[in-house]
Amino acid sequence: MKTYLSEQIRNIALIGNTGSGKTILAESMMFEGKVIDRKGTIEGKNTVSDYTEIEQQNQRSIFSTLLYTEFNNHKLNIIDTPGSDDFVGAVVTSMYPTDLLVMVINGQYGVEVGTEIFNRHAEKLAKPMVLAVNQMDHDKANFDQTIESLKQTFGSKIAIAQYPVNSGANFDSIIDVIKMKMYKFQGDTGVREELDIPADQLDHATELHNALIESAAENDETLMEKFFEQGSLTEEEMRSGLTMGIKKRELFPVFCLSGKKTIGVKRLMEFIINVCPNPAQMPMLPNNSKTEIKCDASAPTSLFIFKSNIESHLGEISYFKVMSGKVTEGMDLTNANNTTKERLSQLFVTAGKNRTKVTELAAGDIGASVKLKNSKTNQTLCASGLDFKFDAMKFPEPKFRTAIKPKNEAEVEKLGELLSRAHQEDPTILVEHSKELKQIILSGQGEHHLNILKWQLTNLNKLEVEFIPPRIPYRETITKIAQADYRHKKQSGGAGQFGEVHMVIEPYVEGTPDPSKYKVNGKEINLSVRGKEEIPLEWGGKLVFYNCIVGGSIDARFMPAILKGIMEKMEQGPLTGSYARDIKVAVYDGKMHPVDSNEISFKLAGRNAFRNAFKDAGPKIMEPVYDVEVLVPSDRMGDVMSDLQNRRAIIMGMGNDKGFEIINAKVPLAELNKYSTALSSLTSGRATYTMKFSAYEQVPSDVQEKLLKAYEAEEEEE
């Protein structure tokens, strides 16, 4: 393969809702570029993109797949992405190295929830976008209805570049209002005939052509002046205006096609090449460089690794974009993230599992290498002398969590290694070895997302695992002042154990003064603070420990032991064994024995005094509460609201955005178990949500009672 320069490269990601036809569109694009000589089908399980066993079983894309095609002396790097919100991480990953998004819309349904979800991510990354209304050959395809739904979502920014003459089973003709021509197609070969627009279509086509020219002119003052003076623009001027509008996301051209029949695909590719931005025309990814980095083949070399995965019989494949300079086979680069050296011993361009060796890739191009030693996803490789790095990709917060364990406990270490690799391949899979919960907690974007991982572990790695309900990381705290004392005394021949500790505890609130006196159970306790330790706790909140001993009733050398005993109960709270937080402890009196007192005695005395005081201090269990935003079609609003209220949700607000209703609520984590599955069931997969930790809040008394009983039963079993 020849080396393509930046201006000859277009990097595009095909995004859109499940069932919109992205994979078959990609097949047609490769067919038009003669990278393949025969198109595969989903039913035939022979598409270039969906080549893994699990994708063929599910008959839909689960992973993003890098493809390419060569067309009109240009190279189009294409990333086919999944359409399910469960695999949004693969979609976000694909947006970073690409310069244009083709949002594929199902002509039967118009804008779907996936359209809205992925457009939100595109907005955050300021990615230009073209809208491709696909499946116009379907009996239920309705272009006009689809345009109305697009207007609801994208407003006046949509610009119709094409419309179908005869959508439905007989779809074979398109009016192109840029070229002002009609294209008629023969069968499903992609062969087209260019014709004049029929008389009965000319007025409508002219109206859309003028609207498109006006939309193009609006993006440049010079073009706008010409448009007002002349009433029109040349094709070249229109292209220039369209390019500027697309780059700024002020314009979303709409095309119509049938990926299945290869109708309109070639024209879409021509438009991408002629009008849409090349890599050198797009902003560089955010980075920490003090000097401007340009997508220029003559500049020093840098590249960004955006994806990696393990292929059987080959090992790890790293996919990268050449950000500047040229990458050549055998080149030595430095990893800017860890300063190690890497040699790119082999370079490939890939189309699914098919790899073609190349010797050189120029700035803006996308390729792959194998068996890099120390370089992973989100890392930067640079030529010698460069030390900048590109910012790591940012992913949505997880929405589904479960605990995982191997059926054979001897394989815990193997499971840990495989989960670490899974996170490397898919950063939206998060793994936590929770000391607090004594579980491995797995978090992802949905139940289906993690079930796919389970399938891989079982079928590809031969490791039997099971998902079990995750424990909730509750917290314990107190609501009032309490006092306790405890004497630890043990005599068993020879030196014994003796330690006595008197303490007062109260809730910690930021900004409150140090204690000077307490009144507990009618008794007044005066304090003289001799020492203070503020201990930020790993699990959140604080413990503030005061040494208020006067007169030497407890030797100073025993105070750390008392604190250690208190910390042991903070780590395993008296109510449910959960972490305790936000407590002040003042040790104000006690007793020692000249022979029998030692550190272990005071540790035990401190721990037990704290436990007793805790139980008298209005103890409360606190639970993690999350901010949840649900995006739902209006006809399912009532069902979703009712379900949320059954989950102890507090509705914080409602609104609407581009045809969807938005519900903002605070929901306890304990009530969000399998919520993604429930929401999908309630709305037939048409709703989505995001969740983010908000705060710890006290559980209702009836819930606390249930938790206490459950813990007692668990303790008895043990």
**Structure confidence at residue 548 (pLDDT):** 95
Reported confidence tier of residue 93, pLDDT bands at 50, 70, 90: very high
Edge-to-edge strand list for the sheet holding 252-256 = 65-71, 74-80, 9-15, 100-106, 129-134, 252-256, 158-160
Q: Which two tokens stand for residue 108?
A: 């039967």
**Structure confidence at residue 228 (pLDDT):** 79
**Structure confidence at residue 718 (pLDDT):** 59
For residue 322, is pLDDT > 70? Answer: yes
Residues 640 and 667 in one domain: yes
* Cβ neighbours of residue 681 closer than 8 Å, sequence gap 6 or more: none
For residue 494, is pLDDT > 80? Answer: no
**Secondary structure (DSSP) of 338-381:** T--EEEE--EEEEETTEEEEESEEETT-EEEEE--SS--TT-EE
Q: Average pLDDT for residues 391-417, to the nearest whole number? A: 95
pLDDT in tens, 131-166: 999 999 999 999 999 999 999 889 999 999 999 999
CB atoms under 10 Å from CB of 34, counted, come to 10
Residues 557 and 628 in one domain: no
**Structure confidence at residue 356 (pLDDT):** 94
Strand, helix or coil at 692? Answer: strand
**Structure confidence at residue 595 (pLDDT):** 86
Residues 583 and 465 in one domain: no
Residues 106 and 162 in one domain: yes
pLDDT in tens, 574-589: 899 999 999 999 999 9
Q: Return the closest-CA partner of residue 252 out of 290, 286, 201, 216.
A: 216
- Position 215 in a domain: no
Q: Which two tokens stand for residue 242?
A: 């369209």
Residue with tokens 């208020």: 548
CB atoms under 10 Å from CB of 553, counted, come to 15
For residue 557, is pLDDT > 80? Answer: yes
For residue 505, is pLDDT > 70? Answer: yes
The alpha carbon dihedral of 421, 424, 429, 431 has a sign of positive
**Structure confidence at residue 91 (pLDDT):** 97
Residue with tokens 């595969």: 40
Q: How many domains does the chain have?
A: 5
Domain of 372 in residue numbering reads as 302-382
- Position 558 in a domain: yes
* Beta strands 74-80; 9-15: pairing state: parallel
Domain edge (last residue) among 382, 417, 447: 382
Residues 354 and 455 in one domain: no
**Structure confidence at residue 656 (pLDDT):** 85
* Cβ neighbours of residue 675 closer than 8 Å, sequence gap 6 or more: 399, 400, 647, 667, 689
Least confident of 38-47, 229-238, 544-553, 562-571: 229-238
What value, to the nearest 5°, has the Cα angle with vertex 36 and ends 30 and 39? 80
Residues 453 and 315 in one domain: no
For residue 169, is pLDDT > 80? Answer: yes
- Position 154 in a domain: yes
CATH code for the domain in which residue 23 is found: 3.40.50.300
The number of residues in the chain equals: 718
For residue 309, is pLDDT > 70? Answer: yes
Average pLDDT score over the chain: 93
**Secondary structure (DSSP) of 261-325:** TTBSHHHHHHHHHHTSPPGGGSPPPPB--SS-----TTSPPEEEEEEEEEETTTEEEEEEEEEES
**Structure confidence at residue 387 (pLDDT):** 85
Longest dimension (CA), the chain: 113
Residues 529 and 587 in one domain: yes
- Position 163 in a domain: yes
Residues 37 and 17 in one domain: yes
* Cβ neighbours of residue 313 closer than 8 Å, sequence gap 6 or more: none
Distance CA 280, CA 268 (A): 21
Share of the chain above pLDDT 90, in %: 82
**Buried-exposed string 112-134: b where 16+ CB fall within 10 A, e elsewhere:** bbbbbbbbebbeeeebbbbbbbb
**Structure confidence at residue 608 (pLDDT):** 96
- Position 348 in a domain: yes
CATH code for the domain in which residue 653 is found: 3.30.70.240
Distance CA 159, CA 106 (A): 18
Surface-to-core class of residue 493, CB atoms within 10 Å of its CB (0-12 exposed, 13-18 middle, 19+ buried):
exposed
Q: Return the closest-CA partner of residue 416 out of 436, 400, 432, 427.
A: 432
Domain edge (last residue) among 353, 382, 411: 382
Q: How far is residue 561 from each of residues 80, 128, 246, 582, measured CA to CA in Å?
A: 61, 62, 67, 20
CATH code for the domain in which residue 561 is found: 3.30.230.10
Distance CA 525, CA 527 (A): 7
Residues 515 and 377 in one domain: no
**Secondary structure (DSSP) of 701-714:** HHHHHHHHHHHHHH
- Position 159 in a domain: yes
Query: Using an 8 Å Cβ cutoff, are 121 and 95 in contact?
Result: yes
pLDDT in tens, 594-631: 888 899 999 999 999 999 999 999 999 999 999 999 98
Residues 434 and 446 in one domain: yes
pLDDT in tens, 237-265: 888 999 999 999 999 999 999 999 999 99
Residue with the bigger pLDDT between 268 and 521: it is 268
301 backbone dihedrals φ, ψ, rounded to 5°: -80, 135
For residue 412, is pLDDT > 90? Answer: yes
- Position 589 in a domain: yes
Residues 545 and 649 in one domain: no
Residues 191 and 88 in one domain: yes
pLDDT in tens, 5-64: 999 999 999 999 999 999 999 999 999 999 999 999 999 999 999 999 999 999 999 999
Q: How many CA atoms lie within 13 A of 210 on its CB side?
A: 8
**Structure confidence at residue 227 (pLDDT):** 75
Enumerate the H helices of 166-279 as residue ranges.
199-217, 221-230, 235-247, 265-274
Reported confidence tier of residue 493, pLDDT bands at 50, 70, 90: low
Q: Average pLDDT for residues 193-212, to the nearest whole number? A: 95
- Position 438 in a domain: yes
CATH code for the domain in which residue 438 is found: 3.30.70.870
How far is C-alpha 640 from the geometric centre of its chain's CA atoms? Answer: 23
* Cβ neighbours of residue 48 closer than 8 Å, sequence gap 6 or more: 26, 27, 30, 36, 40, 65, 67, 351, 352, 354
Domain edge (last residue) among 562, 590, 618: 618
Query: Using an 8 Å Cβ cutoff, are 31 and 39 in contact?
Result: yes
